[in-house]
Structures are given as C-alpha cells and as structure tokens.
Structure 1
C-alpha cells in the first residue's frame, strides 16, 4: 500500500519491551525481560468474589458509561489511602483515573510538548515513557544519575542553559531501569527548581510502595507548594496489572487538561474495573497484599543478586536496588548487549538490552534484569546461563 502516514507516527518504533514480552509466551525461555508482577500472587479468589458482588450490587452502573474523571469512591480511596503514603494531601478534585500510568505519560506529553520542545529526564530512563514522548517529536536532555538518583546539580545546570525546557520527567523510586532511588534532599530540590523555573515535573511512581528495606520516601509532589508536580500512580505493580487502573494526581487547573485530553482519547476507563478495584480495597486490606508481594520480591531480588555475584564475571557492574522490580547491569564499553541477547536466547534466557533506555542513544553496554516474575529456582538457572554467555567475553 502507498499510504501517507503522519510525520509523527512515521518515526514511532515498536516497543522493544513489548516485542520481547512475546518471548515470555515460549515455555522454554527463562525471561528476565518484562516488568511483570508475579501472577501467582494475584488475589484471584478475592477478585472472583469482588466481581460477582459488583455485578450483583451495582451491575447496571458497572456496565454503563461513566464520567471521564473516574468512579468517585475509587478516587476517594486513592486520595484518602494511597496519596498519604507518598506524603501528599489530596481530594478527589486532584485525582483522575487513567488506563495505567502509561496513559498518564502519553497524556503528559500531549498536554505539554510541541514539536522540538525539550524534555529533561534521567539517563537512563523508562523506555515506555520515552516511546510515548517521542510521538510528539521532542528533544531530550539527559541528566546523569549516581547512587542517589538524578544528579540535581546537573539538572539545575540544564535548566540554566535551557530555560525554555517544557517538562522534567523522573522516576524517583527504584527507577526503571536502574533500580536507583532519589534521595529526599534531591526530591526537595527538584520541587524547588520546578517552582523557580516554572516547569512541570512528571513524577512517575509505579514502584514507590514496593520497598524492601527502610521507610517509603516522601514523593517530590509532597514538597510541591505551587502545583508544578504531576504525580502518576498505578495499581499495576501492587495489585492487578490487567485491570489497567492508574491515576493522575495534580493541581485542579492542570488536571482539567488531562480530563479534556482523556475525553478525546477514550472517554473513560472501564466502569467495571474501577468498581472492582474500589470494592477490593473496601473488602480487603491492600497494604496486607502489598506486604506479601514485597516479601516474595525481596527473596527473589536477594537470590538474583547472589546469583550474579556467583556466576557473572567479577568485572561486571550491577545495581543493588532496595525495592522495585529491576537491577541494571553494566558491561565493558566495547560490548553490545543487543548482540549478547542473540547468544543468550540460544541458551534460552532473555533480558532487555539497555541502549533503548537512553533517549539520545548510545550506551549499548547495559541491560536490565527483572526479578519479580520468575521463581527462585529459575532465577538461579537463568543467571547461570547468562553468566555462561558473559564469560565468553571476559
């Protein structure tokens, strides 16, 4: 066919992660590629009860169209239960329900970014966000990270050099892909810089409650006194990703832009899924469920890190996350993780090559490993197979 696609869509590539997820359908592959929660931890029996109860008690409304902002009881629960854990005082006027936080990312670019505008983000950064942003043809300025997350002094230099920048994007908790966490002092400074430069901060927080040691850090949004920070939350990593229930928490003036954009995109999120999510939290203790998840994920993280220590060449560097789903591996500069993946697949093990996590390319000597989705035995075996591949180069 000789179709003329828009300039915007002509430059969009398939998500490397989504393509790799197809590998997980092969039973012979040990996959560390996706950011998948452990399916054996989904509350299937409770959700069966909840689904029946929603249909019996509120079936007509659950199967009907609803408001764009979202189901009021769910928004109330998020404002009352989830946002205080991030240190944020909110009401339903600050909350809009989205199809996962991924939709919030896409809407953020649609609201703030025109062609050629500058987005400032961590380096590396979440591939799904970068793909969503690239549709709007921005320029990226990458801010390096250390063990305390984005280096805020470098962020300030970038803002001084580019006061016209339109948006800052960050994942402060157990960052995807690096697993690193931004310090509290840096969170305060990011909020201050947003105010000084009048620039929105998109704070992406899918992993904040999945902490294995210590206390949950207050969000950047908790230090926001002027409404410059937009907080994106989701139940995908702490509850059931298939429901696709997330939310935006923002100043009402900004939130109204998200509502208008959502009206044009899909009108609303699933009335049924929203009611099921709300009723689960009314009937059961989500914090108790999250505690169970964290116990298992900590065990799997520990086993993966120990296996890396046991089976990878000693020169290979890797992060030791205190929560979340990922560790980040750095190889010698001359190695290309995408090429290594081809060899790893011959050993029936998969990971995500790291080059695509860098907005402006390069850094092909990195890859991301997920520890939440495989059981302990398969983690050890998969890392052993990867170690076999890596030892050919060290």
Structure 2
C-alpha cells in the first residue's frame, strides 16, 4: 500500500519532490475499490447527497452565456467572490477563488514560505497540508493536538524558547483526522500569539458548515489569518471550487503566483457555484439536509462501536458533533496490522500512522461516516469487530 519509491525511478526527482511523503490514504483507496469492501477510509462527501438536479439547473443557466466558457481573471469571477464575501461577512477584495481549497493551501505556502522556514502543524496532521509544506521544504514542527484543538500552551512555550514559525496551520472545525473543534480560547490565543510574534495562521475550514450538534464557533479572529473554504463538502467535489480569505496584500501575492500555476480557474464552474451558493433558500434547505443525514450516520457508527467494539477492546472516541470523521483509539492494537485483517473481512479504514508526524499513533484509526448508510455503517463495524477478533487469535 506504499507509494512507488522515488529512488527506483529512472527520473531524478527535484529535492522538493524527494521530501514529500506519499499519501497512504490515496494508496489505500486504490486497494478498497473492491465492491465487497465497505470503506470508511476516504474523506469523501456522500455521493447520494450531492444535489445533482440543482447543479444541472445551474449548469443549464450558466452555459446559455458564451462568456461562461471564456477565461476569467486570476482572482476568480466577481459574482462568486461577492457571494463568498457576503456569506462570510468580508469584502470581495479579500477573497480569491481557487481550484479547490487544496490549491489555496499550496499557493499560500509557496507565496509565504522559503526553504527552511518553520511551519507548525497539529499531530495528527491533515496529510494534504503535510505534503504541501514538505513540497516547499519547510521545517515542520508538530504539536500533539488537544481536545480544544491546537496546543496553544505548548506553542507559547516554543515561542518563548525562540522558535519563530512563519505559519501555523490547523483544521479548525471537526479536525481531519482528530475530529476535534478548536475552542474559543484556542482561537483567541492563536490570534493573540500571531499578532505578537508575526506568524500567519492558516485556518483550514472545509467542514465548518457541517455541524449537527453542539455550539457553532466563530472563525479565528485577527488580521494574520488566511482562511480556506471549499464547495466540495457542501456541494460537489467535481466543481473543484475553493477559496481563501485574507488581507488584500496576501490575496495579491497569491493571485500573482496563481498566474504562473494555471492562469485562472474554470469560469463555468465558478459561475455555477455562484448560482448555487447565492440561492439562500436552496442552500439553507440543502445544508440542513446534509446535517440531518450526517447526524444519523454518525449516530449509527458510534452506536455500533459501543455495541460491537466497546466490550471487545475498550474502544475510545469523541462523539462527533459535525464533519465527516470519527477518530478512534484501540488500546493495545496496531491498526496498521489490523487493516490487513479488516480488508479480508470486507471493511477498510485509515490507520493512525498515516497521519502521524512525531506522535506514536499506532493504536489509532480514522473512520468516515459520510459515504455509507446507517445500515452499512452498522455492518462495517461488525466486520471491523470480526477483524479485531481475528487479529487477537493470530
């Protein structure tokens, strides 16, 4: 399940590419395409909840204008920047539309980091962020994540010891993979430390609108925040529309860099997304449906975990309040070894080691409850329990 070795290639990779760790998740998805495997591995939104009919209506309206098939400005079409700005209470000049939020993260890193600059990430880490920071040859420092998000107390100690990060990255709502949400104290303290020490905060927030329990949180405040958003988790990944919100000087830097990457995004996809996001009645109803169904699926998963795994291996997890993931601990088990037994039993997950930077996460695993029905999730956990039994017998 590992990526092909770069050293075995006949092509000499750049130093930047040589430093990038392959994504075990992407490799795993290839293995779990078998129809007999119930996969809780991927971080995909539910295909059956994608509003395809409404997207088709938007496509039909937009394509009637030939200009929708033309190039657009590098910052993205004005109607979409206005919709995003209006939804988030900012100004269109502080918004840049990108080819998914992953591109926003990549361009931000390229615009702000030199090789050797320090970047602080959570541990476990969002693998896509780790790959981005490795690609620019940053010095990566990982802080074990807490129940309140980024460990701001440990960050403050690092700063007192002279560590000078250029960027601190976190997935603020329903962390991927840990599932936690940054508390109000964490958000406030991050903003204060950024103002005092001059680093940038990248607030990665693809899941914020998917809260189905608990209290909503305001974004991280302050002028040193680059906030990333996406249409992938609430509309459709294939639109490939994301955005960043930041101060105009950061937007200008990223826009300049973007011109050398792909000139601009798809005018057609951006205008479709503007049509969808700008329809407040539709979006209110659609997001409400997503929340309701994800709540049902999360409840089915956690109920089955308690029933089938609670007495067997003392499973530990935090009850999801939103997003798409549940982060588990199976004390005494190596989940990388467990995965082979699980796939044979017809179920898949992502071992915790795939998300580790420095922390020992061998007894952790990530489950996604988004793509399977409640009945399928119940069956998937039953198969996972079978795999645990098989591993114990082995």
**1:357-381, CA deviations, whole angstroms, 9 ceiling, x for partnerless residues?**
1223642221100000011111001
Equivalence map 1:66-85=2 (5 Å): 66-81=72-87, 83=88
1:19 aligns with 2:27: yes
1:367 counterpart (360, 365, 368):
365
| Mapped partners of 1:28, 1:240: distance in 2 | 25
Q: Paired residues, what number?
A: 381
Which residue number in structure 2 is paired with residue 44 of structure 1?
Answer: 52
Q: Does 1:295 align with 2:303?
A: no
Cα distance in 2, alignment partners of residues 142 and 189 from structure 1: 18
Cα deviation digits, residues 262-307 of structure 1 (max 9, x gap): 1111111111100111112344521221110010000000010010
Secondary structure of the equivalent of 2:13? coil
Supply the distance in 1 between the matched residues of 2:173 and 2:343 (Cα, whole angstroms). Answer: 30
TM-score by length of 2: 0.93
Q: 1:386–1:195: structure 2 CA closer, same or farther, 3 Å change rule?
A: same
Kindly report the root-mean-square deviation, in angstroms, between the aligned alpha carbons of the 2 structures.
1.6
Structure 2 residue corresponding to 1:6, chosen from 1, 6, 14:
14
1:13-162 correspondence to structure 2 within 5 Å: 13-56=21-64, 58=65, 60-81=66-87, 83=88, 89-162=89-162
- Which residue, out of 301, 305, 308, partners 1:311? 308
Q: CA deviation at 1:392?
A: 4.2
Equivalent residue for 1:257?
Answer: 253
- CA–CA distance in structure 2, aligned partners of residues 105 and 352 of structure 1: 23
C-alpha displacement of 1:388: 1.5
Q: 1:339 aligns with which of 330, 337, 340?
A: 337
Unaligned 5+ segments in structure 1 are 84-88
Superimposed CA distance per residue, residues 49-97 of structure 1 (whole angstroms, 9 cap, x where no aligned partner): 21111111x2x2111111000010100000002x1xxxxx311100000
Does the aligned pair in 2 maintain the 1:99–1:244 contact within 8 Å? yes
Q: Given that residues 211 and 323 in structure 1 are in contact (C-alpha distance below 8 angstroms), is that contact kept between their aligned partners in structure 2?
A: yes
Mapped contact 1:174–1:207 kept (Cα < 8 A)? yes
Structure 1 Cα separation of the partners of residues 296 and 267 of structure 2: 36
SS of 1:185 mapped into structure 2: helix
CA contact (8 A) 2:122 2:144 kept: yes
Please give the residue correspondences for 1:158-307 in structure 2 after superposition, counting only pairs within 5 Å.
158-220=158-220, 223-224=221-222, 227-283=223-279, 285-307=282-304
Partner of 1:86: none
- Taking structure 1 as the reference length, the TM-score comes to 0.93
Whole-Å Cα distance in 2 between the matches of residues 55 and 39 of structure 1?
A: 24
Cα deviation for residue 24 of structure 1 reads 4.7
Structure 2: gaps (5+ residues): 1-8
Structure 2 match to 1:328: 327
Instruction: Please state whether the residue corresponding to 1:62 is helix, strand or coil.
Output: helix
SS in 1 for 2:227: strand
2:144/2:359 contact within 8 Å kept: no
Seen in structure 2, the aligned counterparts of structure 1 residues 6 and 314 have a Cα distance that, compared at 3 Å, is closer
Cα distance in 2 for residues equivalent to 1:303 and 1:55:
41
Asked whether the equivalents of residues 148 and 180 of structure 2 are also in contact (C-alpha less than 8 Å), the reply is yes
Distance 1:117 1:356, change over 3 A: farther
Match for residue 5 of structure 2?
A: none
Shift of 1:314: 4.5
